Amino acid sequence: MMLTEHISNIVKPLILSGIYKDEEVALKEIILDHVLRKNQKYKRVILEFQAKYKLNFEEFSEKITNKATVEEEDDWMDWKAAIEMNDAWNKVANMIL
C-alpha cells in the first residue's frame, strides 16, 4: 500500500464523520495542532527557567560564564535546547500558515 493510500485511510473517518471537509484540511489542521502543542511545550520550559533564575537566557549565560555549577550547566543546556526547538517549531508553524 502506498503512503498516500495509508494516510487517506487514516483520515477517511474524520472526513466521513463531517469533522473535516477533505484530506488536505484534515492533515493541515492535525499537523498544525501538533506543531503548536510542541511550540507551547518549549515555551513553558523557557518560562520555567526564566522564573527559576529571574533572568532571560542571555543574562543567565553571562552570569554563569566561567563559574557555573553542574546544575546551572545542565539547566543552560536544557534552556538552550528549548529555545532552539521553540524556534524550529515556530518556523514550521509559519510555513504551514
Question: What pLDDT is stored for residue 4 in this prediction?
Answer: 86
Say if CB 60 and CB 76 are below 8 A apart. yes
What confidence score (pLDDT) does residue 41 get? Answer: 98
Structural domain contains residue 11: no
**The pLDDT of residue 11:** 93
Gap between the Cα atoms of 4 and 30, Å rounded: 16
- Residues 35 and 93: their CA atoms lie apart, in Å, by 6
Task: Confirm whether 14 is domain-assigned.
Answer: no
The predicted pLDDT at position 3 comes to 83
Q: Please, which residues have CB within 8 angstroms of residue 97's CB and are 6 or more apart in sequence? A: 32
Question: How many domains, the chain?
Answer: 1
d(CA 53, CA 41): 19
Would you say residue 88 lies in a domain? yes
Say what the pLDDT of residue 97 is.
Answer: 87
The pTM is what? 0.85
* pLDDT for the residue numbered 93: 94
The reply to whether 1 falls in a domain is no
C-alpha cell at 93: 508553524
In a domain, 7, yes or no: no
Which range of residues forms the domain containing residue 69? Answer: 22-96
Which residues of the chain register pLDDT less than 50?
none
